[in-house]
Homo-oligomer: A and B are copies of this chain.
Amino acid sequence: MAVNNELFKGTLQTIILNLLAENERMYGYEITQKVKTITQGELILKEGALYPTLHKLEASGLLETSTEVIENRLRKYYSLSKDGQKERVNKLQEAKDFIAHLQLLLNLKPAI
């Protein structure tokens, strides 16, 4: 997923769910561009990672889709389902805990 970074494994679902919580509905290509913009080009979300993950989240009932044709091109819009909204909250908390633990283990924060 990243330019030179294996670390994002496992965080992609969380990132997608969170972007969709903030943006109501987005299509795949838009998500890749959003990630690029937010990280100032540091992170490139690859299609080979994105689309399978979107399909998986949809199959799990966390995402809903609607397809439109815009300027002669297909767009598949994704948005959070009710379950997706709940799962987003869970995964966000997990990510917070993960960051906190990692900072502890790497001694990046002073002891409490």
Give the CA-CA distance A95 to B38 in the complex, in Å.
Answer: 18
Binds B, one of A14-22, A59-67, A68-76, A79-87: A14-22
A108 within 8 A of B: yes
Contact of A8 among B38, B96, B98, B107 (CB under 8 A): B98
Given contacts A42-B97, A43-B101, A101-B39, contact A106 B18 (CB under 8 A): yes
* Chain A interface residue bracket vs B: 20 to 34
Q: Which residues on B sit within 8 Å (CB–CB) of A95?
A: 7, 102, 106, 108
Q: Which residues of chain B come closer than 8 Å to A50, judged between CB atoms?
A: none
Q: How far is the CA of A18 from the CA of B103 in the complex (A)?
A: 11
Bound together, the chains give a CA A11 to CA B108 distance in angstroms of 14
